[in-house]
Amino acid sequence: MQRFYAFFLTLVFVGVTSISFAQTDEEDLIPIAPKGSVAEKLQNRSFDDTQILRKQEFTGGGVLHSQGWGLIIRRSKNKTFRRKRVFELEAVSMEHPKELRSVNPYYENTSSYIYGELNQIVVTRLGYGRHNVMYAKFDKGVEIRYLYIGGLSVAWAKPIYLEIGYPSVPYEYIATERYDPEKHFVDNIFGRASEFKGIDEMRLLPGIYGRFGFSFDYARQQKNIASIETGVIIDYYFQDVPMMAKIKNDPYFLTFYVSLQFGTRWYRKFANRKEE
């Protein structure tokens, strides 16, 4: 985990340093830049005009973060040559940092469970934000962007059900029950029940989230997207998220993530206009 944080902080330092030298103009596709600036160098490089016309983007991929994993899809549209508007939908699992997986010590081949887990948490995020190009990619190289996105975050809390042995070891029968920290202990928990048990009792906890990160697009062809993204996300809910028993549960998650995304770009469709 320390290596993960060190890698992330290094990328943040490089990105923030680069931002201070990048010059952007929000009005034009290719801004008129001061002599010697990065923007002027971009103007002097030859490139295919179709790169500007490729206004639309769609990407999807996997996410690995400091408390779980998930999937993400995005839809983007260029506002200028350097700025993109982004809509995203993401779903990730969320695990408590202090959870510990256990097995029944008296029986073999039993299903493992997380002792003390009250609810299984899945977080979905629906957000809107911006991608800003720091270094544009033309025929070769890597395009570097920084991004900021915010929106609605919903924590789906599914209660945990366990198989409980009665009356004592050796068990005479097994019953499926919702986990109760006052009744269920290591000596009477036989194993975990079906993953689908308790779906009809799922609770939705609304909240908000914010994301900041850096994206590195290394695809060889301009119409394709293949990017690695890293950053930080904070989710905040309007009540504590009940993940574990007898452990303090917080109303927020602060996670660091890395994602691998693939997608495509296509041309903007211009409406036909009659000359007056």
CATH code: domain of residue 59: 2.40.160.20
Q: Please give the average per-residue pLDDT across 67-85, as a whole number.
A: 92
Does residue 244 lie in a domain region?
yes
Does residue 224 lie in a domain region?
yes
CA distance 29 to 81: 5
Within 13 Å, how many C-alpha atoms sit on residue 240's CB side? 10
Q: Which two tokens stand for residue 72?
A: 């993400």
Give tens-digit pLDDT for 147-202. 999 999 999 999 999 999 999 888 999 999 999 999 999 999 999 999 999 999 99
Give tens-digit pLDDT for 33-44. 556 554 554 455
Q: Please give the average per-residue pLDDT across 67-74, as a whole number.
A: 97
Does residue 240 lie in a domain region?
yes
- pLDDT attached to residue 132: 93
Does residue 100 lie in a domain region?
yes
Number of domains in the chain: 1
Does residue 273 lie in a domain region?
no
Q: Please give the average per-residue pLDDT across 64-69, as a whole number.
A: 96
**CA-wise closest residue to 161 among 200, 193, 196:** 193
CA distance 55 to 43: 19
Q: Which two tokens stand for residue 57?
A: 């983007």
Residue ranges making up the domain that contains 233:
2-266
CA distance 232 to 256: 4
CA distance 171 to 117: 23
Q: Residue 44 belongs to what H/E stretch?
A: helix 38-44
- pLDDT attached to residue 82: 85
Q: Is a pLDDT exceeding 90 seen at residue 14?
A: no
- Note the pTM of the prediction, 2 decimals: 0.77
Does residue 271 lie in a domain region?
no
The chain-wide mean pLDDT, for the chain, equals: 82
Q: Is a pLDDT exceeding 70 seen at residue 246?
A: yes
CA distance 114 to 91: 22
**CA-wise closest residue to 77 among 51, 58, 61:** 58
**CA-wise closest residue to 189 among 99, 96, 112:** 112
Q: Is a pLDDT exceeding 70 seen at residue 127?
A: yes
CA distance 261 to 143: 14
